[in-house]
């Protein structure tokens, strides 16, 4: 968690300076290298340091991937793409747990986890750089080139005639004028759909927190009859800590 916190601040500035694609590729390579080295860490201090670097790279991968998805995918499919990205992360956690049951050796498990990152690093060379970042950093020709490539891939004909430098400058001017308008947070609450989603997500989040904070009677060794049951060492510790004076 500390690595992700530091990585969010550090790699955010690096992405603004060197580009989304470059930092994303570097994060893939960093995660692959530190993950492989963690399999052979001689001490716990070295292992924790490598995991710190892995956390920083992981957060950078998440942020830059989401930014590129939002920029290059149309608004019609943007929400679906982000949802599938989050689902892929959940599937990865499930797969990791399954692999841990199959592969008992921690070193081998660490190598299996790190190997795909090298593949992602090799394939990331074909990713498109952020056109918005290229234009903001005085590289409009390269940004226009990336936009035309995306137009060709999406089946747009005569992209060179439609996407010109004049059209690009006009669009960026309109976006800059729109960005100068100040909006307050209260304006979001005036939209009914957003209010409904905020209330629903708040209820779900609160219910999840309450469910997690409620002690499990089985884990604490309490059955419906108030008797102690066989417990794991962690649950036994909770029992001794919280219910030391409870009657048997």
Q: How many CB atoms lie within 10 A of CB 5?
A: 12
Domain that holds residue 224: 215-242
Residues 91 and 17 in one domain: yes
Residues 110 and 219 in one domain: no
Is there a domain that residue 176 lies in? Answer: no
Question: What pLDDT does residue 177 have?
Answer: 66
Residues 145 and 41 in one domain: no
Question: For residues 94 and 100, what is the distance between their CA atoms, to the nearest angstrom?
Answer: 10
Residue 36 near residue 84 (C-beta atoms within 8 A): no
Confidence of residue 235 (pLDDT cuts 50, 70, 90): very low
Tokens matching residue 150: 């995306």
Strand segments, DSSP code E, in 178-238 are none
pLDDT higher for 35 or 240? 35
Question: For residues 157 and 23, what is the distance between their CA atoms, to the nearest angstrom?
Answer: 32
pLDDT higher for 161 or 132? 132
Most confident of 27-36, 82-91, 166-175: 27-36
pLDDT at position 22 over 60: yes
16, containing H or E segment:
helix 2-18
57, containing H or E segment:
helix 44-72
Most confident of 29-38, 87-96, 162-171, 236-245: 29-38
Confidence of residue 131 (pLDDT cuts 50, 70, 90): confident
Residues 91 and 35 in one domain: yes
Residue 128 near residue 72 (C-beta atoms within 8 A): yes
Tokens matching residue 243: 């219910």
Residues 112 and 133 in one domain: no
Q: Tally the domains of the chain.
A: 3
pLDDT at position 228 over 60: no
Is there a domain that residue 175 lies in? Answer: no
Residues 46 and 155 in one domain: no
Give this prediction's pTM.
0.68
Q: Determine if residue 155 is left, alpha or beta; phi over 0 gives left, psi from -120 to 50 gives alpha, anything else beta.
A: left
Residues 42 and 161 in one domain: no
Residues 120 and 236 in one domain: no
Question: If 0-12 CB within 10 Å is exposed, 13-18 middle and 19+ buried, where does residue 146 land?
Answer: buried
pLDDT at position 65 over 80: yes
Read off the CATH number of the domain in which 87 is found.
1.20.1250.20
Question: What pLDDT does residue 101 have?
Answer: 86
Residue 55 near residue 3 (C-beta atoms within 8 A): yes
Condensed to tens digits (0 to 9), the pLDDT of residues 199-216 reads 888 888 787 667 656 555
In whole angstroms, how far apart are CA 44 and each of 8, 39, 70, 130, 216? 24, 11, 39, 39, 32
Question: What pLDDT does residue 206 have?
Answer: 81
Residues 137 and 52 in one domain: no
Residues 98 and 10 in one domain: yes
Condensed to tens digits (0 to 9), the pLDDT of residues 32-50 reads 999 888 888 888 898 889 8
pLDDT at position 111 over 80: yes
Is there a domain that residue 181 lies in? Answer: no
Taken in order 56, 59, 65, 70, the sign of the CA dihedral is: negative
Condensed to tens digits (0 to 9), the pLDDT of residues 150-194 reads 777 777 777 666 777 777 777 777 776 666 677 676 777 777 887
Tokens matching residue 84: 């599938």
Give the mean pLDDT of 103-119.
Answer: 85
Is there a domain that residue 57 lies in? Answer: yes
Give the mean pLDDT of 17-30.
Answer: 89
In whole angstroms, how far apart are CA 213 and each of 2, 206, 207, 238, 241? 24, 11, 10, 14, 16
Question: For residues 5 and 58, what is the distance between their CA atoms, to the nearest angstrom?
Answer: 11
Is there a domain that residue 199 lies in? Answer: no
Is there a domain that residue 153 lies in? Answer: yes
Residues 40 and 123 in one domain: yes
Question: If 0-12 CB within 10 Å is exposed, 13-18 middle and 19+ buried, where does residue 56 land?
Answer: buried
Lowest mean pLDDT among 14-18, 31-35, 72-76, 122-126: 72-76
Confidence of residue 247 (pLDDT cuts 50, 70, 90): very low
Residues 19 and 30 in one domain: yes
Q: Which residue, 114, 113, 149, 133, is CA-closest to 67?
A: 133
């Amino acid at each position: 968690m500390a690595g992700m916190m530091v990585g969010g601040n550090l790699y955010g500035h690096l992405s603004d300076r060197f580009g989304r694609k470059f930092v994303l590729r570097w994060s893939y390579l960093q995660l692959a290298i530190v993950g492989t080295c963690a399999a052979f860490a001689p001490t716990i201090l070295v292992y924790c340091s490598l995991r710190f670097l892995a956390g920083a790279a992981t957060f950078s991968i998440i942020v830059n991937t989401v930014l590129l998805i939002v920029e290059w995918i149309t608004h019609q499919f943007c929400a679906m793409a982000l949802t599938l990205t989050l689902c892929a992360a959940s599937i990865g956690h499930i797969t990791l747990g399954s692999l841990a049951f199959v592969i008992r050796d921690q070193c081998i498990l660490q190598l299996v986890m790190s190997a795909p990152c090298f593949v992602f690093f090799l394939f990331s060379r074909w990713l498109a750089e952020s056109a918005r970042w290229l234009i903001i950093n005085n590289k409009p020709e390269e940004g226009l080139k990336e936009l035309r490539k995306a137009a060709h891939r999406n089946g747009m004909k005569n992209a060179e005639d439609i996407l010109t430098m004049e059209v690009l400058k006009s669009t960026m001017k309109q976006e800059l004028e729109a960005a100068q308008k100040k909006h307050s947070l209260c304006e979001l609450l005036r939209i009914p759909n957003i209010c409904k989603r905020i209330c629903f997500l708040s209820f779900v989040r609160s219910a999840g927190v309450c469910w997690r904070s409620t002690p499990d009677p089985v884990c604490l060794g309490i059955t419906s009859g108030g008797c102690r049951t066989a417990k794991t060492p962690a649950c036994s510790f909770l029992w001794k800590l919280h219910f030391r004076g409870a009657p048997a």
